[in-house]
Amino acid sequence: MKLRRSSRLVDMTHYLLHHPHQLVPLTFFAERYQSAKSSISEDLAIIKQTFEQQGIGILRTLPGAAGGVQYIPKIAEEEAKQFIAQLCTMLADPDRLLPGGYLYMTDLLGDTRIVNQIGRLYASVFAHEKIDFVVTVATKGIPLAYAVASFLNVPVVIIRRDSKVTEGSMVSINYVSGSSKRIQTMVLSKRSLTEGANVLIVDDFMKAGGTINGMISLLAEFKANVVGIGVLVESEEAEERLVDEYVSLVKLTSVNVKEKQITVEEGNYFQFVK
């Protein structure tokens, strides 16, 4: 259907936002709107400039016959700073303290706006890695993994604690949890991950890193290549960290149950922002 420039800008913006990281040939838009490729190029220049100016992301244009346009979600550093500061304030609320020094985060992880924003932050920092799958472990990391994966436009794979009949044949491993030193099990459906895939691990919380270490061991059974690890909250209280390189948004530096005090600060996120 033939569309005027103003309508094309609206529809193209919608299309690009819903197809991140996908290379869209200019001919696709030219046919969609019955417009000349030169007009489409002009439209894209406007969208590119606005996306960059408003901190929406980057529009990459690849020339040539196999070329096209690719929208890469990117968050402006200032917006990321403000968002992480806001997360820190929310997490420092003493009402979050639970017996045993755990923090109640269910409300934050249930807020789709917050979850999607976390996804945008991780998709920004891992935008230039080759990622085939986002992997998480049930259940708290699931919404975060889907949010990241939506912005990267890749599928999600969920590791589970126990095997289910609806998952088919499973691969399982035992691992030692970092803090409790107990032996635990993780399983992954055989069909769910192709061999040799590039994966990004995402989880909500990391203390010693035993769970993530377990995930890495299980992923090794699939010959997966772990290209990155993102955790929402890292806890500094761990004596010995089993995982070295990870990207965290928030660092929990101390929890004082008696005084009802929680201290949080910015994680190492900005060390990885290029």
Q: How far is CA 196 from CA 88, 225, 229, in A?
A: 37, 6, 17
Q: Min. distance of Cβ 245 from its own copies in angstroms?
A: 25
Residues of this chain, 56-85, that bind its own copies according to CB under 8 A:
56
Residues 14-33 binding its own copies (CB under 8 A) are: 14, 17-18
Among 69, 87, 156, 242, binds its own copies (CB under 8 A): 156
Cα–Cα nearest to 260, from 96, 94, 92, 101:
94
The single residue among 75, 84, 105, 125 that binds its own copies, judged by CB under 8 A, is 105
DSSP string, 208-261: SSHHHHHHHHHHHTTT-EEEEEEEEEEETT-SS-S----EEEEEEEEEETTTTE
Cα 235 to Cα 241: distance, rounded to the nearest angstrom: 10
Q: Which is nearer to its own copies, 25 or 155 (CB)?
A: 155
Of the two residues 192 and 248, which places its CB atom closer to its own copies in the complex?
A: 192
Stretch that binds its own copies, among 158-166, 226-234, 237-245, 248-256 (CB under 8 A): 158-166
Amino acid letter, 250: V
Number of residues that bind its own copies (CB under 8 A): 58
Rounded to 5°, angle at Cα 234 from 272 and 156: 70
96 Cβ partners below 8 Å, 6+ apart?
103, 104, 105, 262
Using CB under 8 A as the binding rule, whether residue 142 contacts its own copies is answered as yes
Segment near its own copies (CB under 8 A), from 46-54, 173-181, 220-228, 232-240? 46-54
CA distance 46 to 54: 12
- Provide the token pair at 132: 């085939």
Smallest gap from Cβ 244 to its own copies, in A, equals: 25
Q: Minimal distance in Å, beta carbon 159 to its own copies?
A: 11
Q: Is 7 in the site for its own copies (CB under 8 A)?
A: yes
> What is the distance of C-alpha 2 from the center of its chain?
37
Nearer to its own copies, 129 or 162 (CB): 162
Cβ–Cβ < 8 Å for 250, 234: yes
Binding site for its own copies (CB under 8 A): 1, 3, 5-7, 9-11, 13-14, 17-18, 46-47, 49-51, 53-54, 56, 98-100, 102-107, 110-113, 115-116, 138-140, 142-143, 146-147, 149-150, 153-158, 160, 165-168, 189, 191-192
